[in-house]
Amino acid sequence: MEWLESINAAVYNVVWGPIMLVLLIGTGIYLSIRCGFLQARKFGYIWKYTFATLFHKEKSEAHKSDGTNVTPFQAVSTALGSTIGVGNVAGVAGAVAAGDPGAVFWMWISAFFGMCTKYAEIVLAVHYREVSPDGTHHGGPMYYIERGLHMKWLACIFAILGGLATFGIGNATQAAEISVAVNNLTGTGYDSSLITGIVLMVLVGIVILGGLHRISTVTSYLVPFMALFYIVIGLGVILGNAAMIPGAFGQIFSGAFSFEAVGGGVFGYVILQAMKNGFARGVFSNEAGLGSAPIAHAASSTKDPVKQGMWGVFEVFVDTIVVCTITAQVVILSGLYTGTLTGGALTAKAVENLTGSVWGGHFIRVALILFALSTILGWEYYGETCWGYLTKNSKAVQYIFKAIFLIVLGIGAISSSTSILEDTSGLALMWSIADTLNGLMAIPNLVGLLLLSGVTVKLTKRYFKTGSSLEP
């Protein structure tokens, strides 16, 4: 394992070095400026168009389909299913443990600018998507890089990296966390990782064999339930320890700028570590700039790119500002982040300590399992689309990919057996590799977003001037 750790560490330090941090946050800042800080200035309008429409199923455009592609709500459910996942429970806990509470502040900064980044991704994905002869929509960064920039080689690089990243962020890490959660739920001491892996392969296999329509149908029911479940449980725990909330926020802000470390001469280093962990886990959680979510949104029946793009702002807000903050508060309030625990095990133990009941931890473990399952389903479609782009949507390649995906899923679940309860080094390495793949995948997408920013601005201005971003 040492050789793998050293190789990943070398690549990780380059990918998530100062240049990447500048590119990632700089793209969000640049797009925010060019779009007039849409995520803040039009937040009320966006919230009304997105969140409010969920409660008017019969009348809402969000629930309308063209009969071939998924509805806008199913598209956002698939995207949210992949974003509101293990990263929100295990990833945030890992960021706090590795970068101290200050990492949370940089998650918020990443999320604010990431709202506009994801908005731009989705706008471009819908605008440049490809329509098959049967009416099916295919889109994502590889399509807007090729069709918008005429850079087929860069589009192929993204597709390859996205196809590989699928096995990290949307597969092995999720399966490992599910396996650990199941073992802790049973509490028997018996290592059930093999059984968990087999069951997971069967359940996921049944869903993904039905294609995007079955995936989106499952996520449209699963995502709202699991998100509400986690938010209610998390808020209940936090409010039960209300007196400590100001102190927890104080730790976030002091840690972000390392006020206490100024005199020690490590000010810059500590801040950089907090930023690095915050941005990396922020991207892992909300996927803004990664280029993954636009793949699901491009499959929507929505005709207007800007209308679908507004769901991107909604996604990042719910994912990071709401759900990730709840996790961070719970972990910080518990004080356990200074120990040896990390990931989902840390979050579950934190809830147990704060509630004084083992059932509190069990609730978190159940939520983590649901989160991870939805992420797996969403990322399977992302990977399938990436490899499909490279092979002209070959049916044979699709089935080969599904088979490999399920095998890796099982291996990921089994690999957690050495990490259960005490030893979490295997999980930590798996998360680190996933972060590395995320960074590599983001680079060609961010290049595409920057070079096509003029198109995003043009469509945005047209929409808010005429009520539609489509050509008259």
pLDDT tens per residue across span 14-66: 777 777 777 888 899 999 999 999 999 999 999 888 877 766 554 555 555 54
The reported pTM is 0.85
pLDDT at 93 over 60: yes
Cα-flanking dihedrals φ and ψ of residue 452, to 5°?
A: -105, 15
Residue 472 falls inside a structural domain: no
Structurally, the chain folds into a number of domains equal to 1
Task: Please give the pLDDT value at position 112.
Answer: 92
Given a cut of 50, whether residue 326 has pLDDT beyond it is yes
Q: Is pLDDT above 80 for 126?
A: yes
In a domain, 189, yes or no: yes
146-180: pLDDT as tens digits: 999 999 999 999 999 889 888 877 888 788 878 87
Contacts of 433 (CB under 8 A, 6+ apart): 4, 8, 168
pLDDT of residue 274: 66
| Average pLDDT of the chain to the nearest whole number | 80
3-state secondary structure of 387: helix
**Torsion-angle region of 37 (φ positive above 0: left; ψ -120 to 50: alpha; else: beta):** left
Q: How far apart are CA 118 and CA 125, in angstroms?
A: 10
d(CA 157, CA 440) in angstroms, rounded, equals 10
Angle at 429 between CA 336 and CA 253, to 5 degrees: 40
Collapsing DSSP to helix, strand or coil, 43 comes out as helix
> In the structure, what pLDDT confidence band is assigned to residue 435 with cuts at 50, 70 and 90?
confident
CA separation, residue 99 to residues 23, 52, 179, 271, 428 (Å): 21, 36, 25, 9, 13
Specify whether the CB–CB gap between 282 and 106 falls below 8 A.
yes
| Residue 129 CB neighbour total at 10 angstroms | 22
State which residues form the domain around 419: 2-466
Residue 170 lies in a domain: yes
Q: What is the pLDDT of residues 255-305, one digit of tens each?
A: 777 644 434 444 445 556 666 667 766 666 677 888 888 998 888 878 899
Of residues 294 and 81, the one with the higher pLDDT is 294
In whole angstroms, what is the distance from residue 309 CA to residue 457 CA? 12
- Cβ partners under 8 Å of residue 307, min gap 6: 49, 61, 72, 463, 469
Please indicate, yes or no, if residue 133 is contained in any of the structural domains: yes
- Three-state SS at 70: strand
pLDDT digits over 340-387, tens only? 676 667 887 888 888 877 777 777 778 878 888 888 888 888 899 999
| CATH number, domain containing residue 65 | 1.20.1740
Scan for tokens 């098959």, then name that residue: 132
- The confidence score (pLDDT) of residue 262 equals 39
Asked if residue 419 has pLDDT above 60, the reply is no
**pLDDT tops 60 at residue 453:** yes
Instruction: Output helix, strand, coil percentages for the chain, rounded to the nearest 5.
Output: 80, 0, 20
Structure tokens at 279: 């941005």
- 114 CB burial (10 A radius; 0-12, 13-18, 19+): buried
Sorting pLDDT into bands at 50, 70 and 90, what band is 420? Answer: very low
3-class SS of residue 138: strand
Cα angle for residues 269, 271, 275 (degrees, 5° grid): 115
